[in-house]
Structure 1
Amino acid sequence: MKKGCSILFIVFIIILATLGFLVNSFLKSGCGNKKHLEIYSPNKEQKAVVFEYDCGATTDFATHISILDGDEILEKTDSGNLFIADSNHGEANMNGEIIDIKVNWKNNDTLIIDYDKRARIFKNKPSKSGVNIIYKSH
């Protein structure tokens, strides 16, 4: 009797682990990004990457910006390490599937981000990886 219960318990644990793995894989695969722009610093050592992040039909597209090393590649599941915003339920102007945004390097250590003032901002760090950020809204 004890041996039968032990085997059932082990089978139950294996089934739970398998279901957990499948649910986790499904949730991760539902989100991803699509790169729109790569703007290199004047010395090409760093770049600002503007991309959309989408998690399916029940969420708004989000505009993300990351500062990366010049030779670094944006991974499919990366989120913005510098700036994240969305259209605020359609209030902000869109440029395709990202908010209306302009990104320019002033010099090697200063990046200017100009975005629609109606956007809903979730992240806007003042600096990243030695780069100071100037935010403007229009």
Structure 2
Amino acid sequence: MNRNYMLFKYKSAKHFIMLFFAFFFISCATIFEDSPLTLLKEAYNHKKTRKAMVFMNDGNATTDNSLHVILENADFELTEAESGNVFIVDSDHNSAKLDLNAINLTWLSEKTLEISFDSKLRAFKKADEIDGVKIVYKEK
């Protein structure tokens, strides 16, 4: 065989392998990226000075979807970097549905927030108080 032909064949195979691995690593890198957040509901206290929000954090290849409750000032805007500071749950391997009805927020007073939630949800965080606001939990 011609030496130039063999050299061309070797370089082509080498380029193909390099392109394959580059594509593979780039496509796998997105597996571990931060997931987008979806705001599901928000509830203001009676004076509209504080608000509680429920949002979904979409999972990726290594984590399940999760619902988060965050309590902030009324003018707070949710960003992609947020995590729930009050309540974080997942579906416990699809034992419960993660939807609008999974968590409900009710302000009982200016300083008391009730979180009612599906009892099949698995809780990772469950704060009793945030910035002087008492959190009351009710399973449904």
* Match for residue 123 of structure 2 among 121, 124, 129: 121
Q: Secondary structure at the match of 1:94?
A: coil
Aligned length: 113
Segments of 4+ moved more than 4 angstroms: 25-29
Runs (5+) with no aligned partner, structure 1: 1-21
Instruction: Provide the residue aligned with 1:109 in structure 2.
Output: 111
* Structure 1 residues 28 and 130: alpha-carbon distance in aligned structure 2, compared to 1, 3 A threshold: farther
Q: Is residue 133 of structure 1 aligned with residue 135 of structure 2?
A: yes
Identity of aligned residues (%): 34
- How many Å apart are 1:72 and its aligned residue? 1.1
Alpha-carbon deviations, 1:91-138, whole Å to 9, x = none? 123326xx6111110011000001111110000000101110100111
- How many Å apart are 1:34 and its aligned residue? 1.0
Instruction: Verify the 8 A CA contact 2:114 2:136 in the aligned structure 1.
Output: yes
Please identify the structure whose Cα radius of gyration is greater. 2
Instruction: Provide the residue aligned with 1:10 in structure 2.
Output: none
* Match for residue 62 of structure 1 among 66, 69, 74: 66
1:82-101 → structure 2 map (5 Å cutoff): 82-95=86-99, 100-101=102-103
1: distance between equivalents of 2:80 and 2:86?
17
- How many Å apart are 1:57 and its aligned residue? 4.2
